Every structure is written in C-alpha cells, then in structure tokens.
Amino acid sequence: MVCATTLQRKMLLLPVWASMLLGLLMGFVPVVGMEPTEGAKSDFDHAPNTEPLPSSSGTNCSQLTLKLEFSSKVVEHEYIIAFTGYFSAKARSLYISSALRNSGDRTLEWHIVPRQNPASDFPSDFELVHIRQASPSSLLTLEDHPYIKRVTPQRKVFRMLKYIPSPETAAPCNATRQSWQSSRPFRRTSLSLGSGFWHATGRHSSRRLLRAIPRHVAQILQADVLWQMGHTGSGVKVAVFDTGLSEKHPHFKNVKERTNWTNEKTLDDGLGHGTFVAGVIASMRECQGFAPDSELHIFRVFTNNQVSYTSWFLDAFNYAILKKIDVLNLSIGGPDFMDHPFVDKVWELTANRVIMVSAIGNDGPLYGTLNNPADQMDVIGVGGIDFEDNIARFSSRGMTTWELPGGYGRVKPDIVTYGSGVRGSGLKEGCRSLSGTSVASPVVAGAVTLLVSTVLNRELVNPASMKQALIASARRLPGVNMFEQGHGKLDLIRAYQILNSYKPQASLSPSYIDLTECPYMWPYCSQPIYYGGMPTIVNVTILNGMGVTGRIVDKPIWQPYLPQNGDHIDVAVSYSPVLWPWAGYLAVSISVAKKAASWEGVAQGHVMVTVVSPAENDSEAGGELTSTVKLPIKVKIVPTPPRSKRVLWDQYHNLRYPPGYFPRDNLRMKNDPLDWNGDHIHTNFRDMYQHLRSMGYFVEVLGAPITCFDASQYGTLLMVDSEEEYFPEEITKLRRDIDNGLSLIIFSDWYNTSVMRKVKFYDENTRQWWMPDTGGANVPALNDLISVWGMAFSDGLYEGDFTLADHDMYYASGCSIARFPEDGIVIAKNLKDQGLEVLKQETAVVEGVPILGLYQTPSDGGGRIALYGDSNCIDDSHRQKDCFWMLDALLQYTSYSMTPPSLSHSHSRVAPPTGTERPLPQRLEGNHLYRYSKVLEPHLGDPKPRPLPACPHLSWAKPQPLNETAPSNLWKHQKLLSVDLDKVALPNVRAYRPQVRPLSPGESGAWDIPGGIMPGRYNQEVGQTIPVFAFLGAMVVLSFFVVQLTKSKSKPKRRKPRIKRPTYLQQQQQTTTGKTPGV
C-alpha cells in the first residue's frame, strides 16, 4: 500500500502542475520579471526643471503626468543673417563687414557670435551677429547686400518641467486614464514636453486579462515580420533632434555619433525625452524600437534647462545634410509657418533627400491647430491614436491655414499611429509609457527607417516616394474625417509591399474628391452644392516621386462622365508652376452649371494631370520621367435654396498670427495669447457651422472683398471677429446691399488702446517689444462700416456671467454698444469692467452694459442688422458657454423678420445709447497693421487704402466629355500606379534569430518581458517563445508522470502471507480497492 499511496499523491499533484502551466500559457499567473498589475505613482510633486524623468528601474513602468510651463526672454542685439549660398567663415565675415560699412553709421558696434559646434568647420549659409543698438537702417543695409538673403532676430525659448501627482489612484501601465493638458505653445517647442502629455495612459479595463502584458508598439505594427526576414534598419542613418542620449545606455548598440549644439558641455540626456524618442526608433532590448541596427545620429539641440535657439537648429540641420542623413525625426513644432529661416532650411533638408517626420501638435481637439513643419507638403506629418484606434483627443486637427483667407487648406495630418501610452526607453534603463504626438512621430520615423532598409535600390527612396507608400497603404479608420486621420492608420506591412514594388510616379493627396462620402470627406460632404453658390475649393497636394523638381505639362484636363451627369458641373484648376521640393499644389474649384439650377442628383468626372521630372539617369529616353494621374470628382447637387436659408461667412476680413501679432479674443487665456486658428467655419468655428447646417442653413465662405458677391442671393452676411480694414468701395456696396434686403450680423470683440499697450509683452515669438496692431477685433474699422446707420461699438472691455432668455451666458472680453438707433432693440447686462482690472488691477461692476442690438433699416424692403459685442460664445477656441440659441434667434430675425419675443420683451431691454457719454475708439497711433493688411498700404503719415483689387476670376476648364461609366468606389479605385496590394505578397519568411547579447558587467537583468528570460539582441521573439517553452515544459512533466504511472503498473508486487478468508470477504475487498488480488 505504500506504493499505491505514493502514486495517489503524485496523481493529485498532476492537475496542480497542469493548471499552473495552463495559467502560464494563458497569461493569468505572473512569472518572474513580469510587470506589476498596478503602476507606481510618481514620487514628484514639483520637480525642478532640470530634473530628469523619474527612474523606472523598480517597476519597469512609470505613471507620469508632466506639465510644462513656458517663458521666454528677448535675445537683445542678436540677429541671424541668412546668405544666398554656403560660404566660409571668412567670406561671411567680409560680406557682413562690407554691408555694415555701407550703412554710414561709424559708431555701430558689432561682432560675430562664435558657434562652437561640429558644423563650424564647414561652410554655412547663415551667421549669428551681435549688433548693439541696431537701427532699422542698419538692418535694411544688411539686406541690401547681394549675398544676404534675410535678417531675422535670434530666438530663445525656456521650458520648465513639473511633475504633477495624479489625484486618482495610479492605473496599470496598460490601463487607461485620459489625463491630458493643452498649452498651445505659440513658439516652436517639443510636442511632448511642450504640451504636458508625458503620462501613462491606456483604455483597457481590468476585465481584459489578455491585455495584462502590453505588447510593444513595434510588435503591434508587425515589425517582427520584417525582422524575421532579416530587415532591421541596417545601413540607414536616422537623426534624432532632441535632448541628447547617454553614452552607455543599455538599449542602444549602434550610436554612430552624438553631437552637442547647445552651450552646455555635455552630450548626455538630462531629461529623458531624447532617450525615449531614440528608444522608440532604435532600442534593441526591453521596449524594442523598430530599427535596432540603424545608425543613430543624436543631435542635442535642447539644454537640460529646456533652452534652444534658432541658430542651433540651423547649424544642426546643415550638419545633417553634410552627414547624408536618411531619416530625421523632429518632435517639435509651432504655429509660425512664416518663420522663414526655419522653413527654408526644412525645404533644403528634404531637397537633399532627407525624409523628415514631424509631429502635428498637441492642440486638439480644436481644428486648424496644425504645427509647423508638420504642415508642410514635403514633411510627413503624424497624428496620434490610442490602442483602441480612436483619434487621441490631444492630436491636432487640420486643415492647414497657410492658404486662408483667400483659398482653402490642405489635408493634414498625412498619417496617424499610436501616440497614447506608447512604451519607450527610460533615462538610464527600463521603460516608461508616454503620450503625445511627439510619441507618434518617432513611431513613424522608426517604421520609415525600417522600411528604407528593406529596399534594395535606395535611389527609389525619397521623401515623396516614402510618403506615397505610407498614405497608399494606410488603413482608414471608420467614422473619422480626413482632417483628423489624414489617410489613415500606419500599416507597416502594406507599406513594405508597396515600397518594394514601387515605380517612380506622381500621386495626389487626397487621391479623389467625393462630396457625397461622409464622414471621411467632412466638411466637403456636409453640404451639397448648387447653382449660384460660392465655388467649392479643394486643395490637393501633388507628390512627385520621380524627382525633387518637376512641372505640370500642358494644362489639367477636365473630363465629365456623361452617363453620370458630369456636364452639370464646371471645374477650374490652378496649380504650382514648379513642383519643389518633391511636391506642389493642385487647387480645384467646383461649381454647378446653370442648366442644373433646379436639378438634383449626383454628377461625376475626373481631372487628368501629367507631371514630368528631369531623369536622374541621363540614359532615360528624352531625359525626363512622365507620370499621368487621375483625380476623380463626385458631387451632390441640389436645387438652389431660397435666399433666406443662405448665410455668407466673411473670411476675407479675418487676420491671424502669423505674420502679425493679433491677440486672442479672450484676455483670460494668458497662456494662449495669439489668434492663430484661421477664424474659419471649418476650424475654430466648426461647432457653429455644424449647428447651422443642422438647422437647415446653407453656409458659404467669402474669400474676397464685399464687392465680389451677389447680395441678392443671400439672406444674411455674417461677420465674426474681423481684424481687417475695409475698402471705401466695400462700405458703399454694403450700404446699398442692405437697403436692397441683405441682412447683417456682427459679432465683435474688445478694442482698447490702453489695454493693447499693456499687453505688449505677450508678443514673445518675434522677440521684439511690439504692441498688438489691433484688439480682439478691429472696432474702429467696424464702426466705419456701420456708422451710416447710427451704430458704433465702444472701447469698453467687459466680462461676466448672466442669464438671457433663460439661457446661461458668459461674456468673455467683449465690448459694448456705444451708439444705436433710437427705434432699435437693445439688451443690457451688468458686467465686470475687465479693462479696469487689466490696467489697474481693480475690480468694478458696471450696470446696464449694452451688449446686443437689433435694428430694422427704414428703407422699403431693407434688411436687418444685429450687433453683439463678443464672439467667444460661438468660437471653439475658449468657449465656456455657447450661444448658438441666440444665433438661431438672430438668424430668424435677419432672414425672416421674426423678432424673438424673448428679446423684444426682455426685462433687460434698455433705451438705445446715443454715444455722447464717451468718445468712440480710435486706431492705435503708430500701429503697423498695414504690414499685414490686404487693404492698407504705407503712406506718408497715416496708411491709406490700396486700390480695390479685382474680384477673383476663375477660368473654367473646357470639358472633354466621356461617354463611359464612372467607377463606383473612388477610394478603392485610386491606388498607386502599377501597384496592386492583392498581388504583392510577402516573401517567404525565413527563420531568423539574431544572437543573444550577454549582459554587461553591472547591468541589471530585471526587465519587463515575462519569464525573466535574458534579453537578446531583439527580444521581440521572447513573447512568442514563452508559450512554446511553457508547452514543452508541460509535456515533459506530463511525460514524467505517465512514465511513473506505467512503472507502477508493470512492477511486480511482493505478496505478504495472509490468512485464507471466506469468499464474501474477498469480494468485499475487491469492491473497496478496485483491484483483483494476485494468485
């Protein structure tokens, strides 16, 4: 019985071992080295700005929320002098001294600021000069030199990191807590540090046990498929412009060069941001990067105090060109797309075949918040998503605003990828999870580096061809529009398939125009087109993969499909005369033909464009490469709506930063002082536009002077937050239009010259003590426009909460109505005097401030006018309480002459002000609005209006009709030429397992991959081999017990002498033991 008892114990242990092994296989039971289920909270309340990111060596996972504050300091007397070419240091000095001698100022003190960095030994195209008390004439004399292109002030930025403890319990490393913060930097800054998105996130609840071990982003995007084929980034030079990297960091094995461009004597990363970015791209262990064999070139362009200068970037960019960098990651950005030295250098970089990847910004969910340089056509702009494929709230949205107000923006971002809760290398060792578009940017940069290494003919790889492969292979996210996701989510394997069957060609972004496809084609799909409406403008980017320069031959051809009613639309096309570098634009204007004024249906056609580029290989026939691309167009046409339903938005008179200092409309927003969102119905007035469409109104955009539209077609002209002046002819025409039935609604904003002088310190991006050239709105210009009806706004500045018609309202830095006709309706409220608070830091409440006025003009059949002193309640930028209900009421009044009873019988109605109490606001003396205005021009004394420009005239393309059926699916139909993803299969994957690298002396073996297995060169296979090892172990254990059981059965038993018992006792024993006694 001893053997039987022992065997029974062994068999009882069998299910225990089996359950443990099954637990290992399923990931339920932790093993040695697995990360904990709960992440540790940050130990920092407010760390100094030089403090590195907290170490993650203990848990291999850090939960961080970092807040960044900005400040800046004027770099007095320092100027960047850009030359027309690259010259030696001696030649640059001679040119500058020659130019300054010609200024005639003998007392001028100047010297060249030495720049001790690796680029100082090479020719350069700029110089940093210290000029004491430089006069405007001295700077102009410099720019007059034939070899000097531009003179701009030196810029300096401070960034301070603060660690803010989360009020909630720390979530697991892969769990979710959306803790984000927008700071909207108004200068070029790091897009992770700069916007406070360094924090662990995740959207996975504790019920998702299978997600308890987070996979690394490289594995999620299937980089391991390419690794197993032998592609690991070898031979590709990738540059990281950031905060540096430690020399002996255990995650990196192929750091070719570390360079310091700052004024600190160190190459190491003292903050952790540069290390994290480099790790996402090229880490070889723990939190693996995409291309561990790539050549890392580390450019330290930020100090440990988070300081950087424009000149540092320019020198570093020049050095990257000299080093023939292939891929460059730039996790910085800012709204200033007119920062000429920086933008010009980016163009030069891409023209030298450097593939630049940049983050689009952390200023979402507001639209029109793209950062530069990611908004440039030649740069791959990257947005962020979470691991549930939702667009990250912080990710900036399109459209680009370069083209406003006259045209329309382009589609950006180009592509989106994981940017929330991504794991990367810690400062010294271990991993951490961070969020932000500057996290998504190195994900794409790492993927691009890996893709470049897969191409045998590297001559085919350039900024255009890489972008073509990425956007053609991207996976579109459902329910998301193109200004949020661009072309979709990064698909590494499909991009590999396309890139390895690529032939040089041109392509379009977007590749088709479908005004019926919602929501992807929002806002185009949100409103059908009709006869008499403003032409719909679609700005398409031409990508030229054939060469850095190219041109469009002949003219684009418009070919309508007759079976699909293509002859019901007219198309006009304008385009870049030269495609450089690698890209250009194709602006398509679509309008409805007169014969379709009462027709409803869908019309289709396409535009054919032929692009040629000089062949890099002269052996090519004719020395040129040619590519013809097709742009399908599909629109929804409806009969022209009635006049009362048509609203015209005045875009022409909106100005924004850059180029000038145009302050925010809400002075409470001190951390966001610049008006830089374009003031468009599809950017920061998107919610208002959506509301008007839901109410049945048709909203059109006027990108030309008031003299350029037919007022008889529209019920209401809507002017919101106008900063521009008005031509005298516009004032005359508007008066005539209103007499003939057009109505006008104006949402104004603050304008006070004393406050404008007070807030001059806000303009830090230009590094000059400039005062704003206008207020939140140009009230003196608006008063000139409406003075003929006896109306005017004041220079008062008010804020406060109030109730109007049972709706809660907030007045945010608005003005009041100073003068109004006596037979009009005026609503007044008690508000705080914000101007007094700004100027004297005193608080006072003003009773009966007139804020809303309604007036019916006396002429027969005349229109109506409504004035309101604040636009923040319909602006998405800083809206606290919307007033869309009031806009509805005003449109009912202006379009249908229906006076809202809630306003006409309001207890807040007062007698209209006469304007005799205080003088009307005057323009700020000495302002420089003429520098940025389309209306004013400089003149002796006060600026004068320019001559009224001619109205835009579109040259409609002559149609070449096609009697054939249009393709039904425009998106699927439009792929790169000669590339069919269904036919491009992955090659046979050969077994590939790189060597295991042993630990260095003193290096910790504790890391975050389950199983405690020693990290190898690419431990992406660890997650795959753990189940295999566990399974084999289970088989060995099971085999052991089977063998033991077999032995126990076959081994002869020694019998003991026993007393013969009766038969019935023997039968009872058999039923008890289940065995037959031996003979």
Q: List residues with catalytic annotation.
A: 242, 273, 438
> Distance of CA 850 to CAs 789, 826, 842, Å?
17, 7, 22
Cα 887 from chain centroid? 30
- DSSP, collapsed to helix, strand or coil, labels residue 758 as helix
Find the helix packing angle between 463-473 and 437-454, rounded to 10°. Answer: 110
Residue 780 host element (H or E) = helix 779-786
> Distance of CA 169 to CAs 41, 43, 175, 433, 510, Å?
8, 13, 12, 17, 44
Q: Closest Cα to residue 631, out of 586, 601, 591, 567?
A: 586
**In this structure, what is the dihedral angle of CA atoms 698, 699, 701, 702, given to the nearest 10 degrees?**
80
Pairwise CA distance, residues 815 & 921, whole Å: 11
Structure-token match 């001679």, residue found? 94
Q: Where are the beta strands (DSSP E) in 372-447?
A: 380-385, 415-418, 422-425, 431-434
Q: Closest Cα to residue 241, out of 191, 305, 291?
A: 191
In eight-state DSSP terms, residue 460 is: G
> Distance of CA 174 to CAs 28, 39, 361, 1025, Å?
15, 9, 24, 22
Ordered DSSP codes for 1014-1050: PP-S-GGGHHHHHHHHHHHHHHHHHHHHHHHHHHHHH
Pairwise CA distance, residues 485 & 476, whole Å: 8
In eight-state DSSP terms, residue 404 is: T
- DSSP, collapsed to helix, strand or coil, labels residue 381 as strand
> Distance of CA 1008 to CAs 69, 176, 238, 285, 418, Å?
32, 19, 27, 10, 20
* Assigned token pair, 788: 């003929």
Ordered DSSP codes for 313-373: HHHHHHHHHHTT-SEEEE-EEBS-TT-HHHHHHHHHHHHTT-EEEEE--S-TTSSS-PPBT
- DSSP, collapsed to helix, strand or coil, labels residue 141 as helix
Pairwise CA distance, residues 596 & 528, whole Å: 13
**In this structure, what is the dihedral angle of CA atoms 581, 277, 293, 283, given to the nearest 10 degrees?**
-160
Residue 273 host element (H or E) = helix 273-282
Q: What are phi and psi of 691, to 5 degrees?
A: -65, -45
Burial zone of 492 (CB within 10 Å; 0-12 exposed, 13-18 middle, 19+ buried): buried
Peptide bond into 581 cis (omega under 30): yes
Burial zone of 988 (CB within 10 Å; 0-12 exposed, 13-18 middle, 19+ buried): exposed
Pairwise CA distance, residues 898 & 174, whole Å: 56
Q: Maximum distance among all alpha carbons in the chain?
A: 137
Is beta strand 189-190 parallel, antiparallel or unpaired with respect to 255-260? unpaired
CA atoms within 13 A on the CB side of 810: 12
Q: Which residues pair with 866 in a beta bridge?
A: 745, 854
Angle, alpha carbons 950-951-954 (nearest 5°): 120
Pairwise CA distance, residues 826 & 908, whole Å: 8
Cα 882 from chain centroid? 25
